[in-house]
A = this chain, B = another copy of it.
């Protein structure tokens, strides 16, 4: 079926075969302008990688207070407000289209978002002709809890990594990623702390930008998908995390940012960005701590069945396992640790070694099940 799009693609490919339409562009600068207009001012095919952190279109209700009474400092900036999904979609398609035009044929795009916007962005970029390579989950080591106990703690954000088209020969530094991950393939879920402490840029004592991303995240993104000397463009530059990391890693950068006060902060920050030292790279190794196995996981996987009975070594107490991972013994109930402490009238108790299950060889501590779980699932 020879659609207009097909014809266009064929023609573009042929043109490129004759002369690679890759343009040079002035880099290491901030364009203080609206993101679509700024990208429109750049030539075709001049960018190696785009990293975009667009507005999430959060739709927050009233104020939210923590249990102890303090108020949560929410994102209420005007730049995050859109009246309808249709308007947000239009905005999204506009910047994705421009970004695709200025990307080199083998360039790639990264977008980060939350459930509020990422599905719309993902669908839009597929529609625009991008080819998704991976979706990456940024697991936050220290997310904000859900204070009202109404949902699951929102503990991650999603990034989409896409090439300009299906057949593109994009850059992926496989070995670099593998060595960064203790010689195991880098997975699609990354555990990285949120941006806080010294790294968080302050302006008059308050955070300079409500959604500053951690540099570790950009390090991994750039190390994975660009080469030294590549030009990285960030159409929602904010306080310039992308620029700072690009400079450290020897990549060129272009930032697009509308707000003058963010631009000022970014310029100062990037000027201060020191060349990369090895120790910084070491600390961002992807080594994760020994994975924690909650007692509930043994029940979900049926290593222990709800209704089973657990005992202490001397069979003094006998407790029944319930579906939610709590134990019940007479009129007392609680987690494996809590109930163990309660029954012994002790201040605390390690339930993993206190509770045992009946096996062919007599009583065995449930810790052996945790060990089995780890062996089976974390080779």
Chain A interface residues toward B at CB < 8 A: 1, 3, 5-6, 63, 65, 69, 71, 78-83, 85, 114-116, 118-123, 126-127, 132-137, 139, 141-143, 145-146, 149-156, 158, 160-161, 166, 172, 174-177, 179-183, 185-189, 191-193, 214-216, 219-220, 223-224, 249, 276-277, 279-285, 291-292, 294-297, 299-302, 305-307, 320-326, 328, 333-335, 338, 341, 344, 346-349, 376-379
Contacts and interface: CB of A to CB of B under 8 A. Distances in A.
Contacts of A176: 323-324
Given A152-B186, A249-B323, A301-B216, A296 B123 contact: no
7 contacts: A63-B347, A141-B378, A152-B185, A180-B324, A192-B297, A280-B307, A284-B324
B69 A349 contact: yes
A146 B3 contact: no
Contact of A280 (B3, B127, B320, B377): B320
A191 B291 CA distance: 9
Contacts of A126: 85, 119-120
Contacts of A307: 276-277, 279-280
B328 A306 contact: no
Contacts of A189: 137, 139, 155-156, 189
A301 B197 CA distance: 12
B137 A347 contact: no
A263 to B, nearest CB: 24
A306 B6 CA distance: 31
B302 A152 contact: no
A333 B294 CA distance: 26
B276 A187 contact: no
A155 B187 contact: yes
A377 B333 CA distance: 21
* Residue of A174, A181, A348 with highest tally of chain B CB at under 10 A: A181
Contacts of A300: 180, 192, 215-216, 219-220
A309 B133 CA distance: 36
B80 A333 contact: no
A374 to B, nearest CB: 10
Contacts of A133: 151
A71 B192 CA distance: 35
Contact of A182 (B115, B119, B155, B335): B335
Contacts of A141: 377-378
A184 to B, nearest CB: 8
Given A118-B122, A294-B180, A300-B219, A282 B322 contact: yes
Contacts of A177: 152
A154 B188 contact: yes
